[in-house]
Amino acid sequence: MPNSIELRSKQCCRYAKRVAGTAFCLGLLRNIFKINASQYGNFCVSLLKDFDLRVIAKKILREFWQKHPDCEQQLKSWYREAEQGSWKTINEIKKGYPSASVVKDGRVVFNIKGNNYRLIVRVNLHYQMVWIRFIGTHKEYDRIDATKI
């Protein structure tokens, strides 16, 4: 069972991750808990890695579902599931999304709305970050190179 400072550190690091990242988290450790941030920096960074994924560029999804309202709920659902996920390996992504295709350089292609739309993301599992690289119709997807986008 973690002690109270570990629990409070987890809560602060979770908040810090959402607001400003690692530097903010280290500042919280130093100022609120009166501990040496350099001594506990690795502790904080490891806590950050244990939390939810950070999905970059939700705006791209929002703009797309405004043009294609039939996929809004599916994209919102994917975003929510990805953000709350804690994938450690590509196999965990495939387990949750069996129809997803893994392409080189950490890119994963998700089928949205019964394969009517394709979503390409770049995943960095070490930092628990997901970058949206492309969202489009299946026809638009056929015209691009998923490994280079």
CA distance to 69, 74, 117, per residue, from 61 (Å): 11, 11, 12
User: pLDDT (tens digit, 9 = 90+) per residue, 107-139?
Assistant: 999 999 989 999 999 999 999 999 999 999 999
Q: What is the pLDDT of residue 86?
A: 82
Question: Which pTM value belongs to this model?
Answer: 0.66
Q: What is the pLDDT of residue 13?
A: 53
Q: What is the pLDDT of residue 64?
A: 97
Q: Are 78 and 121 in contact (CB under 8 A)?
A: no
Regions of the chain where pLDDT drops below 70: 1-51
Q: What is the pLDDT of residue 80?
A: 95
